[in-house]
Amino acid sequence: MRPADPVEFRAKMWICRVEAVVGGLLTLNFVVLIALMITHRPNKGVDVKDGLITLGMGGVCAVLFAHGVYSLRVRRRPLLRICREGIEALVIGESWLDKIPLIPGFLRIVWLLLSGQGFRSRVVRIPWMRLGDSTLHGTSSGRVLEISGTTDYGEPETIYFTELSFRLPVTRIAEAISSYRNGSKIPTTLRSWDDQGLFIR
């Protein structure tokens, strides 16, 4: 490994930006459409069936927009940090699909929206003494990074990150974690869990 290897690993943001922009434009389009339906038919009123369909599709687009904005906001901080005490992971919208390689990102987003899990996040901290293996599954085009261990609260934990999660390849992240876990690098000079730094970028 190189001396300049990072210890903070950030999320890919372009997928969230596309989701927010597309969702916002579609929501605005349906708002305008509903306004036109009301103003152009003041006497006859709006057809109930057409109105419900338009409202339903507009609602779906609004949820898509809200999820995109939430994803951008929560991903301002690193998804994974290698710290003095251990590793800290920001788990966002976890689901059973995370364990399966080669699942398209679009299907993951749809499931997260339908299940409501896309609006949930939590921070997991695993001390070095309780950290298990960091293993990779799947092919080079759809790898999944699996991190197992016991949290600082004494609860067993397994975290999954897909190749699409990070800006850097998950192979490099797995190597960085292993280098500190096996002692080839010393974590005493790293930031503490409680030292977040200027993570807003």
pLDDT digits (tens, 9 = 90+) for 179-188: 999 888 888 8
C-alpha 10/C-alpha 12 separation (Å) is 7
Every domain of the chain and the residues it spans: 14-73, 78-186
Residue 110 in this model has a pLDDT that exceeds 50: yes
Mean pLDDT of 24-53: 77
pLDDT digits (tens, 9 = 90+) for 46-65: 566 777 888 888 888 898 89
Residue 140 in this model has a pLDDT that exceeds 70: no
pLDDT digits (tens, 9 = 90+) for 91-109: 987 766 666 656 666 677 7
Structure confidence at residue 200 (pLDDT): 45
> Token digits for 176?
């960085």
Q: Tell me how far CA of residue 86 lies from CA of 10, 76, 182, 192, in angstroms.
A: 17, 21, 12, 9
What pTM, to 2 d.p., does this model score? 0.75
Q: For residue 23, count CB atoms less than 10 angstroms from its CB and return exposed for 0-12, middle for 13-18, buried for 19 or more.
A: buried
Structure confidence at residue 147 (pLDDT): 93
Helix (H, G, I), strand (E, B) or coil at 91: strand
Q: Tell me how far CA of residue 73 lies from CA of 39, 97, 178, 186, in angstroms.
A: 36, 23, 29, 32
Q: For residue 101, count CB atoms less than 10 angstroms from its CB and return exposed for 0-12, middle for 13-18, buried for 19 or more.
A: middle
